Chains A and B, each alone.
Chain A
Amino acid sequence: MVALAVILFAITLLTIDLVIQARQKKYPLMSPSLRSSEKADVVRMPKSVFFHPAHTWARMEGADSVTVGLDDFIQKAVGAIDKVYLPMIGQKVKQGDPVITVHHGDRKLMLVAPISGTVFALNNDVLDNPALIAANPYEEGWLFRLEPELLANSLSLLTIAENAVSWIRTEAMRFREFLAGQTLQHATLGATMLDGGVPVANSLEYLDDSSLRKFEDQFLR
């Protein structure tokens, strides 16, 4: 009896909830907050990391340790990353050297090291599960750590905080223009852009190989 009553009560509440949800969907303007589907045109730009113009970032962890990763913008532009290749431990990398490879299906992009130094640690979790980059490219999605060389020199090329924010806005504009200039493989992307809709997410999926190389040259070097 009690069990039946409790379950019936719960099912009633659930039904009421579904009805309320269904009705609210007709007036989505009633809840003026960020919905997850709209998040694609939002990029995370933490104020504590330095951004390289080629969309990688560096964060000081201590005197001899800098964490490196790729930024939210590129992560969203590429779409789901299936595979990451990193430099090996002990390898010396130079700022601007393309040392990170990311795969999206059969597409491949190379990204550069944001600063110079010697690699001493890799993020094995990301190698196992590149989806961590999408979850948060600045925390669990970091790529490798290095011992920096000529740090001050390296940093002069990077931007941080407000500068980084205004840089990423120009990047987004540039990216839109870039997309507009390419022959798109897919009609929907163009349509979305005309709508003033999602400008970034997964866009690369619609580019052909030559456009992809152009993108690499113009944005990742």
Chain B
Amino acid sequence: MITRLIGKLTFWKALGIVFILGGLVSGAARFIFGLGATTHLSDSTPWGVWIGFDVVTGVGLAAGGFTLCGIVYIFNIKRFKPIVRPTVLTAFLGYLLVVVGLMFDLGRPWAIWHAIVMWNPHSVMFEVAWCVMLYTTVLALEFSPVLLERFHLTKALKVVKAITIPLVIAGILLSMLHQSSLGSLYLIVPEKMHPFWYSPMLPVFFFVSALAVGMGMTIVESYLSARAFNKTLETPLLKDLSRMMVGVASVYVMMRFLDMLHGNKFALVGWNMESGMLALEMALFFAIPLVVHNVRFGQTRLGMFLGAMSVVLGFVTNRLNVAMTSLERYYGNVYFPSIGELFVTAAVVSAGFWIFSLAVKHLPIFVDAHEEKDMVRLTPVMRPVVEEPRTAASAQA
């Protein structure tokens, strides 16, 4: 029995289970023993990996939702429609998981509703909180047709379809607001942050890089879903998306370059940690994808996936640089998250993958999915039957 279960495990499933179990234990410990005992957060590192990765990076990685909705519904480029649903689902899950991550980080998570009734319009955090709340609602509505279709609720479906365009526009506006505002969060600490990352333009940088990573994430998740769920990959679509992604990343890098130039920041480039991290960020976000996109390999599925993955990693580097690297010199202590913090973060990400795969199995996410029962095979299946090695192993056991 156990051997059979183990036999079904792939490397990724096993890793996911380890992460989620570890995350559950660590999460419980955090609520039992408090933040101080279970994390490496301190008075000189008030924000750790839970804010830096789960929130600041997580929200950015969910930017595909509004990017793609804008492309399809506002700019009327309909050929991207087949990938709208999976992208909106990822965005919706992404935002839900951001909120989950936040619940671990907040000192008093049970008071989170205070943001709804106690207003401080001067606070960027207040604005982000509202935008995230409203946008999650918008995403839920944008995603609802999938559920409504599944359960044949025609009337509700009609209502939602009727308000699609206003919803999409609201979603784009809300996203513009909070994607940029995540950058504005750091405007208040001009002398704490390293000049490489502090700039009055932070909100614009955050927004533009979110656009690029939105497209990157769409490519990555299309590739992974195509592989995991045996869906056809919309290769020409992704090629176009990949081109747009590299374009937006170029615009972003140009803006960063000008910011460095006008702020005389190149003087700070040298043999130090900050310069290294900046170089890594630029290589991953811009240089590698640009090269990959322009060689033959970049036109293959794997090439497109790796190019997009590089943009995603570059984006993650950027957000973590802003949230952590840039502050390390000022605070003079190097924060490294505790094992508990890491487990919770890894569990949140794994949960995202898991829920996504469940949704794909049970809901019409890929347009393809509900057509397959209508498919007719014209040739007899010629697939040799091969006993898999693990079957033999379990027989012995």
Q: Do A and B come from one complex?
A: yes
B378:A200 contact, CB within 8 angstroms: yes
Nearest A residue to B341 via CB reads A2
Contact residues in A for B277 (Cβ distance below 8 Å): 3-4
Asked if B191 is at the interface (CB within 8 A of a chain A CB), the reply is no
A2:B313 contact, CB within 8 angstroms: no
A2:B383 contact, CB within 8 angstroms: no
Asked if B325 is at the interface (CB within 8 A of a chain A CB), the reply is yes
Asked if B105 is at the interface (CB within 8 A of a chain A CB), the reply is no
Contact residues in A for B328 (Cβ distance below 8 Å): 1
Asked if A129 is at the interface (CB within 8 A of a chain B CB), the reply is yes
B236:A2 contact, CB within 8 angstroms: no
Asked if A214 is at the interface (CB within 8 A of a chain B CB), the reply is no
Docked pose: A29 CA to B325 CA in angstroms: 46
Contact residues in A for B313 (Cβ distance below 8 Å): 7, 10-11
Chain B: interface secondary structure? helix
A36:B49 contact, CB within 8 angstroms: no
Chain A: interface secondary structure? helix
Contact residues in B for A128 (Cβ distance below 8 Å): 78
Stretch at the interface among B148-156, B198-206, B329-337: B329-337
A39:B232 contact, CB within 8 angstroms: yes
Docked pose: A74 CA to B349 CA in angstroms: 44
Contact residues in A for B230 (Cβ distance below 8 Å): 33-36
Q: Contact string, A93-121, partner B, CB cutoff 8 A, digits 1/0?
A: 00000000000000000000000000000
Which one of A10, A36, A45, A132 contacts B375 once the chains associate, using CB atoms below 8 Å? A45
Which one of B231, B309, B336, B384 contacts A29 once the chains associate, using CB atoms below 8 Å? B384
Nearest A residue to B230 via CB reads A33
Q: How far is the CB of A40 from chain B (nearest CB, A)?
A: 9
Contact residues in B for A41 (Cβ distance below 8 Å): 377-379
Asked if A6 is at the interface (CB within 8 A of a chain B CB), the reply is yes
Binding site for B on A (CB under 8 A): 1-7, 10-11, 14, 16-17, 20, 29-30, 32-36, 39, 41-47, 125, 128-129, 131-132, 135-136, 139-140, 165, 168-169, 172, 196, 199-200
